[in-house]
Structure formats: C-alpha cells, structure tokens
Amino acid sequence: MKLALQINMNPSLYLRDPEGTDLGKNIIKHSIQLIHDTGFEAFTFKKLAESIGTTEAGVYRYFENKHKLLVYIISWYWRWLDFQIGYQTKNLTNPVSKLKKVITILATTVEDDLMTGHVDESILHQILISEGSKAFLTKQVNQDNKQEYFKPYKDLCNTVGEIILECNPKYKYPHSLASTIIEMAHLQNFFMNHLPLLTDFSKSKDEKEIIKYLEDLVFNTIRI
Amino acid sequence: MKLALQINMNPSLYLRDPEGTDLGKNIIKHSIQLIHDTGFEAFTFKKLAESIGTTEAGVYRYFENKHKLLVYIISWYWRWLDFQIGYQTKNLTNPVSKLKKVITILATTVEDDLMTGHVDESILHQILISEGSKAFLTKQVNQDNKQEYFKPYKDLCNTVGEIILECNPKYKYPHSLASTIIEMAHLQNFFMNHLPLLTDFSKSKDEKEIIKYLEDLVFNTIRI
DNA sequence: TTTAAATAATAGTATTACTATCTTAAATAA
DNA sequence: TTATTTAAGATAGTAATACTATTATTTAAA
C-alpha cells in the first residue's frame, strides 16, 4: 500500500497531464534535477529529453515551452508548501506558534517527501531559492496571471496572511508581510550562500539564523 | 557648462569602456530602453545593434555577452543609488530621518537625472524592479562575485546598514535588514502592479503605500 | 603624412526553440 | 479477435540566437 499526495495543477500549464503517464512523471522528475544542475537559462528540452531517454518532440507533447514547465514546477511547490503549512499547524492553538512554524517551514530545506514519488522536495526547495522569481519576473506576467498561474502563490500568501492576522488582527499589511517572509526566506538563503555580505549570517551559514532573523522581523513588526 | 556625474565601473564587466565613445554611450542608452521594452529574455545584441544603427559585431566589441551588459547596467544603478543616499542624507542629523529618506529613495520612481546624460534613471528604476535579481540569480554567481561584480550592491547594503545601526546600535541584523528593504522596495512594487493580491496596495497602486509599509516594518523591527 | 585604432559590412557556425511528419507500439472498444 | 484510437519514437527541417572571424573603410594620433 502506498500513500499518495495528489496536487492538482492548472491544466493550461500543460498540453498533456504529466501526472497521467510514466513519461510525464519522468519529465517532471528529470526537469527538477536538470534545472537544479544547470540553472534555468541553460536548461533546454533537448538536454531534458536526453536525460530521460526520449526525444525533444516527446517533451513538447507535454509542455509548450520551458517557461510553462518552470511555472508548473514552481507552483507545484507553492501548493505543497501551502499544504504543509495547513497540515503542520492544524493542531496548534497559539497563533504565534503557528507563525513560527510557518517561518520554519519556509526557511528550512525540507527532506524528500515520500508521499510524492517522482518529486524531490529538497531539490525543489533549492530551485525555488535560485529560480523561483523567474516564474513571474517576465514580460508575460499579466497574461500568465489572467490564466491563474500564480493562484497557488496567492493562496499560500493568503494562508500566511491569515495566520498573521490571528496574531494581530489590527496589523495593516498581512499580504505584503506574507510575501516578504516567503521571498526573504528564500533570498536570504541565496545571499547567505553566495553573497554573504548582504546578510549577517556569513560565518555560520546556518538556516537557523535566517529563521531567527525572520522571527525577529515579523514579531517586532506585528508587535507581539 | 555641464555638470557630469561620473560613476566608475568594474573594468572586467566590459571589453571596451562604453563611457569613452559615442557608440559606447549609445549601447548603454539603447540597451536600457530595449531591456525595458522587451524584457531581458527577449533582448538580443542584434536588436540592440539595429536600434542603434550599428552591427552586432559592434556591440560585441564592448560587451562579451548580454549578461555582462545587464550586470553593468544594474550595478551602475546600485552605485547611483548609493551616491544619492549619501548626497541626500548628508545634511540630516537625525538617523531616523536618514533612514526614512533612504526608504523613500529606494521605493520612489526617480526622475531622469540630468547629470547623467545618456542614462535615464526612471527607466533604470523599472529595470531594477523587473530584471534586477536576474543579475545575481545565475549559476555563475560565485565566479561573478569573485570578480567583484556585486561590490556596488554590497556597498549600498553597507551604507543602509550603517544608518540602521545609527538608529539602533544594538540591532543584530543590519545587513539582512538592508537587503530586505532594498529587495522589497522593488518587489512590492512589482507585486502591486502585476500580482496585487500578494500585497495590500491593490486599490491605490501608490508607491507611498509601499513606503509606509517599509517604514512600519523597519522601525518596528529596530524598535524605534 | 603615416600609421594605428575604431568602426562598418559581411559571412559563417553551433545551438536553441520550436514545428511537422511518419512509423511503431500499446491500450481499448467493437 | 480484429479494428481503432492514442501515445511514443524517430527523423527532418526552420527561424532565431549567440556568438566568431575576416576584410574594408573611416577617423584620429604620432
């Protein structure tokens, strides 16, 4: 018996549902690995096809282009994070503990979740750090947004915003603070590892420091 | 008589100094316009050459590739911001006023500075919002960093960090908070205009709201 | 005035980002 | 069981990108 967590995705992101076939699952699995290894700029469908053992045309039958594949992968992770937050905070009654949990989830490199066979969440977390913002920092962002490509991000932001409001119902900027926490959980990690002088964690290079920084930022801001 | 502000750039960013010739200045001027119009992904040296009225080979004599040109442009703006902050805060004695000034400078779309003939700062500000993080979110970030490409960003971050410490010498994360302010001044602007549900400024779409959010964030965090 | 340097003009290459077509293999329906 | 749809594999082709190289022409400095 195998438990499976099914995350449902926006169908206009793909031509054929990658969850439905072995080749599809391989496309997801190998693209996560390859984007992580080479970076999104150098990532091509040809290299992906080679690493799977299929042809370029085979990949194109599933995804129109590499941008949509990136958005697929990134928004999959946003949904997964949203699910994790719901799951890991559902028994907590104290909103401050909830928010601390949220920060920890966002800022910690996760272990591979066995409930999602072909997706390695620990690599996905790295991709979100390095490539995440490339999903929306494009000229087509408004069109993509109309197609609801970023709904998972908005949902995640909303979940976090709700918890912020539980801590302090009068706080005026719950969504902005939520997106700040999410983005900074990733960006401070990138800076810590690659441009350490932009952070105060250059010595330890420890994720726990990022968590402490974010907790200090958030709880002072909402005055807890 | 013409006042000119000369910003000195890292020579390993270019093959020939673009500040030294008309063609060079045209490359900077038109690339700022073209990157803004088409986005960095669609920006090519061929299109740039056409818009200038020169040839592709002409551009390649100045810059090895479009990534270096982007880093050149972005780091020019970091330096300019750093200069602006120094200039506009030098007569302020109160550190809190200084920090407010900094936030305003970072979050406000500037007007074209006439001291820098061929550079339009208001467009550059837009480029920083949409393309800025692409300068460092690459696989080559460590190499680029060794070449000191991001020194202007670090200097800027340090300037802001110093002012934070003037406000509260005991605050523990001046660099991280500085990079958070800089990044969020840009990203909240992008979200406000393209993904408004990730912010709390969806109705007004007013930069002043971002400033208020950042001031609230910063001064509560450092407990002023 | 000579000479060196910068630019313009042109051509060429490997790779990328696709599209199209045709064949084969596997699953399903009649 | 056969017929038929459907997915996958194999191959080819194209326009654009990201360069490099070569030669000719103009401009500027010695």
pLDDT tens digits, one per residue of B111-141:
666 566 677 889 999 999 999 999 999 999 9
Residue–nucleotide distance: B136 CA to C17 C1' (Å) = 25
Q: Is B200–A150 a contact, with Cβ atoms under 8 angstroms apart?
A: no
Q: Is B188–A198 a contact, with Cβ atoms under 8 angstroms apart?
A: no
Neighbouring C-beta atoms of residue A39, cutoff 10 Å: 18
What pLDDT is recorded for position B1? Answer: 40
Q: Is A221–B223 a contact, with Cβ atoms under 8 angstroms apart?
A: no
Q: CA dist A53 to A17, A28, A45, A66, Å?
A: 19, 14, 12, 18
What pLDDT is recorded for position A36? Answer: 97
Tens digit of each residue's pLDDT (9 = 90 or more) over A132-172: 999 999 999 999 999 999 999 999 999 999 999 999 999 99
Nearest Cα residue in chain A from B192? A176
Assign B223 a pLDDT band (cuts: 50, 70, 90).
confident
Q: Which nucleotide is nearest to B45 (CA to C1')?
A: D18
> Which of B131, B173, B220 lies closest to A221 in CB terms?
B220
CA distance A2 to chain B (A): 36
Q: How many CB pairs under 8 A join A and B?
A: 140
Helix (H/G/I), strand (E/B), else coil: A119: coil
> Strand C: which bases are under 7 Å from protein Cβ?
6-11, 15-21
Which amino acid does the sequence have at A163? I
Q: CA dist A111 to A39, A103, A189, Å?
A: 21, 16, 17
Q: Please, what is the end-to-end C-alpha distance for chain B in angstroms?
A: 45
Residue–nucleotide distance: A57 CA to D13 C1' (Å) = 13
Q: Which nucleotide is nearest to B66 (CA to C1')?
A: D18
CA distance B5 to chain A (A): 26
**Residues sharing a CB contact under 8 Å with residue B21, sequence separation 6 or more, in sequence order:** none
> Which of A131, A172, A175 lies closest to B197 in CB terms?
A175
What pLDDT is recorded for position A4? Answer: 66
Assign B5 a pLDDT band (cuts: 50, 70, 90).
confident
Q: Which residues of chain A have pLDDT under 50?
A: 1-2
Residue B172 scores a pLDDT above 60: yes
CA distance B25 to chain A (A): 26
Q: Is A200–B172 a contact, with Cβ atoms under 8 angstroms apart?
A: yes
